[in-house]
Amino acid sequence: MKEQKIIRRIWLFFCMGVLIVPLYLFSVQVDFCNLYGGMPSTALLENPQSALSSELYSADGVLLGKYFRDNRSPIDYEMLSPNIIQALIASEDCRFREHAGIDLRGLARAFFLSVLLRRNRGGGSTLTQQLAKNLFAIRKEVNYEGKCASIPSLRMLVHKTKEWILAVQLERTYTKEEILTMYLNTVTFGNNTYGIKVAVRTFFNKTAAELHVEEAALLVGLLRASTRYNPILHPDKAKYIRNVVLAQMVKHNFIKQAEYDLLCEMPIELHYQEENYEQGIAPYFRAVVRDFLLKWTVENGYDLYADGLRIYTTLDSRIQSHAETAVKEHMAQLQHKFDDHWKGANPWIYENGTEMEDYVETAIQKSDFYKQLVQKHRGDLGAVHAALHTAVPTTLFTWEGPIQVNLTPWEAFKHHRKMLQSGCMAMDPHTGHIKAWVGGINYKHFQYDHVKQGKRQAGSTFKPIVYTVALDNGYLPGDVVVDEPVTFSLPNGETWTGKNAWNYFSGKKLTLRYAMANSYNSITSYLVKALGPELIVNYAHNMGIKGALEAVPSIGLGCSDVSIYEMVSAYATFLNKGVWTEPFFITRIEDKYGNVLQTFIPQNREVMHEDTAALMTYMLQGSLDEGALRGVSPELRKDNEIAGKSGTTSNHSDGWFIGLSQNLCIGVWVGGEDRCIHFRDFANGSGSQTARPIWEKFMLKLYEDRALGYKKAPLVDRSSVSDKVKQIIQIADQEKRQADANSAVNSENYTHKQNKINKEMLDVNKIF
């Protein structure tokens, strides 16, 4: 009788369990009376969402960079090395291929060892359960908590129950391979790396398909505790956990004991490169594109940092690399020259050559760093002053590499202000495609962009716009004008007279081509007076100069502030038969599935007659044929047609060069962070000395790189040039040859005069 009662109670408990457990699971799944909170929907299971980095690609298919909150990029199963799959299964879920989402043996082991015996041997979660947990974590914006969440013990039980239910649903919905792929795409490996694709690239600089066994074991080990086993911070601990995973691979027959014995002795070899906005190719370009994309995504309802957009740009990574190298090579040399030039003295000076003693104090107060200090110390200027003059560990930029020193922010600011800056942009004149963009010398230390954001006086590089107006209004390259003073009457009753840089008027008759090539301010002033400053301003705006321009007599001498971006677009018009094309840098934007969201086409308009454009190209060749730029590398000139114009502003504060080749227009600027920082003299600070060498180096690298397809060739397609233009050029060339012949007859007198002019140009520092 007693035995029957026991049997009946057992059956009762069994039946109650059979009824209660399913009812409990069902009530959790449907969130009965909001006791448990909701769960991710079936639709979400079929298409699990996670924050994906948006990726930026070059025109030649290279990943330039990413925009992210959590650095995550998805990968397909076929792109995974078997080593990572085997290491993961061996370490985290050895019966993964056998269970249906829940491993009962693992749960029993975890219950008895970890709960009853209090031996921490893991929680018994399968990879599928861990994936389910990750899906809950990813959906941070959804609240899955119910009324039971207020009771800690019940809250944990409900969470586990939801993971079990979700794990079973995942197993029913996906194949084992898809579950493994989703898991590896959602986990974090530390160092702001989310997903296996990013982790492999960050730690080993390779693809997931190329992972070796020991590398895969290291990454799987990081999943247990990414900070504790971080190979950068704790290499010994990282090696230990790697070997633990390798031992598990031996235990489950994925590798042999002999292979383990060899691998466990190997040191950890990393090719670590953390992905951030400061490193990698084209950082200034990526920052400019980011600003554009932030505006675009707001207007079109996307999240740049989470929606996994794919942005395809016009930039060519190979051309960009050559541009960055050319800037680096020349600016490193120029900086040493600049430092020697000042011999330890401070380079911020007034026009009379004396030092601006209050420069650092004034300039530092305009910096973001200073404003942050004021905010931090709540306006206490005494505390701000103390912070500025307290030594702290600091990283200084040098061309020999960054150096770590203990230095006050005040001295660090002075050090960086002594650095010359540069900007360079290359554009296809026919399509408007920006091919290279170097906004400065080092993005980590100097984030101000000198291509589009920075605007400085253009100096003589503005003169071709004046000559364009002249040619478009009846003047010819061979027309002669006397090199003599040209005086303007100003509205205030005063007068203004443009002076040549060498403060000398020869009284000679000069052709327009020769005058532009040799930057005669007197001839430019003559044209400004004849044509009117207002007309020149209108042409400049039509040619892409979008900033404010003053219609004043000195407009032709480059007194207004412009950007490299604007000047390159203006000069490119000459090579594009008089049609201005807006520079642009994005061709299309796709969503994460590859659907095209928008394609981009640049604006264009005809701004000058086609003949004018051809003649201006011929005029610009004069700078290299008979002007101040005859010293361009013979290697660059041989069997080639190139053109360009240099520019130098007052006190040699800004050096410019805009160069043209058949399919490329390149603009370069060099100068100090502020206009008061510059060389003392024209001989060192002119655009032909500071900016032109970057263009030369850049062009030579492009020609040497046969894969790019840039070849030495005529600037203009001769067959498309009108007979009228051909005749004008022929006459101008004949006149030039005659002038050269006359000069040869009077060579001694000519040489004496030329030497006198050269001497006066070298002594220009006395003038300024």
Same domain? For 22 and 101 the reply is no
Same domain? For 393 and 474 the reply is no
Same domain? For 6 and 90 the reply is no
Between vectors from CA 541 to CA 540 and to CA 546, what angle results, nearest 5°?
120
**What pLDDT score was predicted for residue 133?**
78
**What pLDDT score was predicted for residue 164?**
73
Structurally, how many domains does the chain consist of? 4
């403060």: which residue's tokens?
503
Structure-model confidence comparison of residues 112 and 408, the more confident one: 408
Q: Per residue in 493-533, pLDDT tens?
A: 899 998 998 888 999 999 999 999 999 999 999 999 999 99
Residue 738 lies in a domain: no
Task: State which amino acid sits at residue 435.
Answer: K
Same domain? For 106 and 232 the reply is yes
Rounded Cα gap, residues 601 and 61, in angstroms: 19
Mean pLDDT of 144-163: 58
Rounded Cα gap, residues 334 and 322, in angstroms: 18
Output the CA torsion sign for 442, 443, 447, 449.
positive
> What tokens appear for 53 in the block?
């980095």
Residue 65 lies in a domain: no
Task: State which amino acid sits at residue 705.
Answer: D
> What tokens appear for 14 in the block?
């069994």
How many CA atoms does the CB half-sphere of 268 hold within 13 Å?
A: 24
Domain closes at, from 235, 263, 291: 263
Average the pLDDT over each of 132-136, 332-336, 339-343, 595-599 and give the range with the smallest value.
132-136
Same domain? For 386 and 526 the reply is no
Between vectors from CA 556 to CA 552 and to CA 559, what angle results, nearest 5°?
70
Task: State which amino acid sits at residue 619.
Answer: M
Mean pLDDT of 728-750: 61
Domain that holds residue 24: 1-30
Would you say residue 36 has pLDDT above 70?
A: no
Percent of the chain's residues with pLDDT above 70: 82
Would you say residue 459 has pLDDT above 50?
A: yes
How many CA atoms does the CB half-sphere of 589 hold within 13 Å?
A: 20
> What tokens appear for 141 in the block?
């914006």
Residue 55 lies in a domain: no
Same domain? For 481 and 383 the reply is no
Rounded Cα gap, residues 221 and 724, in angstroms: 76
Q: Which segments of 301-446 does DSSP mark as H helices, in order?
A: 317-342, 359-364, 368-376, 381-388, 409-417
**What pLDDT score was predicted for residue 465?**
97
Average pLDDT, the chain: 85
Q: Which helix (H) or strand (E) holds 528?
A: helix 521-531
Strand runs labelled E in 592-663: 596-599, 604-606, 643-648, 654-661
Residue 393 lies in a domain: yes
Q: Residue 241: give its domain's CATH number.
A: 1.10.3810.10
Would you say residue 74 has pLDDT above 70?
A: yes
Residues with Cβ within 8 Å of 533's Cβ and at least 6 positions away in sequence, in order, are 551, 552, 553, 555, 556
Rounded Cα gap, residues 222 and 228, in angstroms: 8
Burial string for 444-475 (b: 16+ CB within 10 Å, else e) reads ebbbebbbbbbbbbbbbbbbbbbbbbbbbeeb
- Do 510 and 467 meet the contact criterion of CB atoms below 8 Å apart? no
Same domain? For 401 and 437 the reply is no
Q: Per residue in 640-669, pLDDT tens?
A: 999 999 999 988 999 999 999 989 999 999
Q: Residue 718: give its domain's CATH number.
A: 3.40.710.10
Residue 86 lies in a domain: yes
Same domain? For 397 and 463 the reply is no
Same domain? For 663 and 540 the reply is yes
Same domain? For 81 and 216 the reply is yes
Residue 746 lies in a domain: no
**What pLDDT score was predicted for residue 718?**
72
**How many CB atoms sit inside 10 A of residue 443's CB?**
21
- Do 37 and 158 meet the contact criterion of CB atoms below 8 Å apart? yes
Same domain? For 690 and 578 the reply is yes
Backbone angles phi, psi at 85, to 5 degrees: -65, -45
**How many CB atoms sit inside 10 A of residue 578's CB?**
21
- Three-state secondary-structure class, residue 508: coil
Strands 456-457 and 561-562: antiparallel
Same domain? For 700 and 716 the reply is yes
**What pLDDT score was predicted for residue 8?**
57
Structure-model confidence comparison of residues 318 and 205, the more confident one: 318
Domain closes at, from 222, 240, 263: 263
**What pLDDT score was predicted for residue 748?**
45
Residue 237 lies in a domain: yes
How many CA atoms does the CB half-sphere of 478 hold within 13 Å?
A: 15
Please report the DSSP string for 5-44 in residue order: HHHHHHHHHHHHHHHHHHHHHHHHHHTGGGSS-----HHH
**What pLDDT score was predicted for residue 96?**
87
Residue 319 lies in a domain: no
Q: Per residue in 550-587, pLDDT tens?
A: 999 999 999 999 999 999 999 999 999 999 999 999 99
**What pLDDT score was predicted for residue 760?**
43
Domain closes at, from 246, 263, 280: 263
Give the total residue count for the chain: 768
Average the pLDDT over each of 345-359, 585-599, 704-718, 741-755 and give the range with the smallest value.
741-755
Report the Cα–Cα distance between both ends of the chain, in Å, rounded: 120
Backbone angles phi, psi at 261, to 5 degrees: -60, -35
Would you say residue 740 has pLDDT above 70?
A: no
